[in-house]
Structure 1
Amino acid sequence: MKAKAKLYLQLVRWDRPAGWLLLLWPTLSALWLAAGGFPGWHLVLVFTLGTILMRSAGCCLNDVADRDFDRHVKRTALRPVTSGKLSVTEALALGGVLALLAFGLVLTTNRATIYWSFAALALTLLYPFAKRFISMPQAVLGVAFSFGIPMAFAAVQGAVPTLAWLLLLGNLFWVIAYDTEYAMVDRDDDLLIGMKTSAITLGRFDVAFILFSYLAYLVIWTLSLWSMVNSVIYLLAIAAALLQSLRLVWLIRKRERDDCFKAFRLNHWIGLTLFLGLALALS
């Protein structure tokens, strides 16, 4: 039982919290913005736990969908489903349970949030297969990883305003930036197996596009929120996030696998910086 539990924890990347933190910070930022300050513990807990559960469920589906590809990639060859230590049925069952638990949390909110949760689920199901047909599947992931933003506004306000979609657009650029860094780690393997990624599509322009994506993300969030959060604290947070972004671009400039993976794992600090800036400015 202990061995099986360990495999399940590996399946949901329990030892790699960077994945759900990248989802969490923009979602919490949207909650604070929608509420004009602290949104209450109920919504904070619902969206925090829901983020962790849905990211874990997504890992289960992703590993099942990619199991035949992952065995040819150095970084993923030993994943539980790929290696055969967990069956497809076991992985899908766990993913289904986690998704149902997340939906149970959504049911404690309002009707608008429940409706939008089905769109979020559809995106979660779509992404693992987008890598086979779309040259930049990171754009699909960007929408999926940003969908906590409109859901947060729906949970607080009962509707999704234009601001939420602007923030989603900005966040999409951030996701493209860090997931392209992630894709750069596996570029050689992905070329051999025919997987489509932004790192392959962009070629020698990958680093430049990552820089552009970071800048687009910060510019969109700054301009979208200027009339609402025009405080010195928020500007300092934007400046700090910009410096962090430039550091990560410098880190990946030589396209070394370890450096690209390190850059990906450090991205959640950018999201945390902006969230703290917004939370403090709105307090």
Structure 2
Amino acid sequence: MAPLSAQAGTPDKVADAPAGNWVDRHAPAFLRPFLRLSRADRPIGGWLLMWPCWWSAALVALHHGAASQALWHLFLFLVGAFVMRGAGCTLNDIVDRDIDGQVERTRLRPIPSGQVSTKAAVAWLGLQGLVGLVVLLQFNAFAIGLGIASLAVVAVYPFMKRITSWPQAVLGLAFSWGALMGWATVTASLALPAVLLFIGSVLWVIAYDTIYACQDKEDDAIVGVRSTALLFGERVRPAVGAFYAGCVVLIALALALNDASPLSFLGLAGFAIHLAWQVMRFDHRDGALCLEVFRSNRNAGAILFAGLVADCLWQWAF
């Protein structure tokens, strides 16, 4: 199957980008392919990478650090998450450029469609990596080393779909690393609450990325790409439910060990209800619905964060 660019010229958008997104409407024409390469037209990944960072920053702020420090770290994590998500997507598209041209949902991406050359993509990757490094260098030495260690996971992830049915687990490690970083930036160390939050976040990522992968099951099977969506097959709904349940239990343990108040647990309860709603709603045979449910995890993450922030404000006030 040839890339669509060979059949119908250069595309002006990708298949799964929201209609009327800011890149299509406002970005300069020469910059649009690079912003699409970074998924700036689909910012959901930036939010999902950011939430574990913000959860951890709020969790550690309950008993360590000041409000001004917490706000500064939240800003740095916001910038870092969106920049490094863009860098990760760019690396993924460089590695997967041949596969993407054979999958319906991804064949219009900038590299397989011919909008961006591989060399230009590598240069764009380097620029984003440089911005991410500037953000990382704002933290203490322990956090800097921890952040550098995450690059090993980021580097191997694009290859995992070729060798294992669990690439979602590797993505979980990469997307949950912020749960360790948020704690480390304040204490220059790690503790059990941060580790439990990290593992719980990994389970969250496995579940929501399994939902996401259900969109591509047929094409993935044809081109030989593996995923948990294919692995679980018709049992994907209970599998996703089990991962979400494990996520909630582990985060509850993290909160308990950190002496969180009922406000944090109220946020966790809202988070759990949202995840249960996702499990009940999604249908692995409906690609559009899978994408909608996957994107709703931005709201799920915000609910948990709101509870943690309320807890911080309460404890700082009293």
TM-score (normalised: structure 1): 0.96
Corresponding residue for 1:165?
195
Q: For the aligned residues, what is the CA RMSD? A: 1.5
Task: Write out per-residue CA displacement over residues 229-275 of structure 1, whole angstroms, 9 at most, x where no aligned residue.
Answer: 44332232222212211221122135311111111111111111101
Structure 2 distance, partners of 1:12, 1:51, is 12
What letter corresponds to residue 265 of structure 2 in structure 1? L
Q: Is 1:17–2:47 an aligned residue pair?
A: no
Q: Is 1:35–2:61 an aligned residue pair?
A: yes
Q: Return 5+ residue gaps in structure 2 as ranges.
A: 1-26, 314-318
What letter corresponds to residue 309 of structure 2 in structure 1? A
What letter corresponds to residue 233 of structure 1 in structure 2? L
Tell me how many residue pairs correspond in the alignment.
283
1:170–1:217 contact (8 Å) kept in structure 2? yes
Corresponding residue for 2:15?
none
Deviation for aligned residue 1:29 = 1.1
Larger radius of gyration: 2
Corresponding residue for 2:262?
232
Deviation for aligned residue 1:227 = 4.0
Corresponding residue for 1:277?
307
Task: Write out per-residue CA displacement over residues 165-200 of structure 1, whole angstroms, 9 at most, x where no aligned residue.
Answer: 111110000000100001000001000000010101
Structure 2 distance, partners of 1:161, 1:236, is 23
SS of residue matched to 2:197? helix
Deviation for aligned residue 1:54 = 0.4
Work out the percentage of aligned pairs sharing the same amino acid: 36
Structure 2 distance, partners of 1:42, 1:239, is 28
- What are the within-5 Å matches in structure 2 for residues 98-137 of structure 1? 98-137=128-167
Task: Write out per-residue CA displacement over residues 51-80 of structure 1, whole angstroms, 9 at most, x where no aligned residue.
Answer: 111000001001111111111111111000
Change (3 A) 1:149 1:230: closer
Corresponding residue for 2:276?
246
Task: Write out per-residue CA displacement over residues 191-240 of structure 1, whole angstroms, 9 at most, x where no aligned residue.
Answer: 00000101011112111100111111111101221243443322322222
Change (3 A) 1:262 1:211: same
Structure 2 distance, partners of 1:127, 1:248, is 26
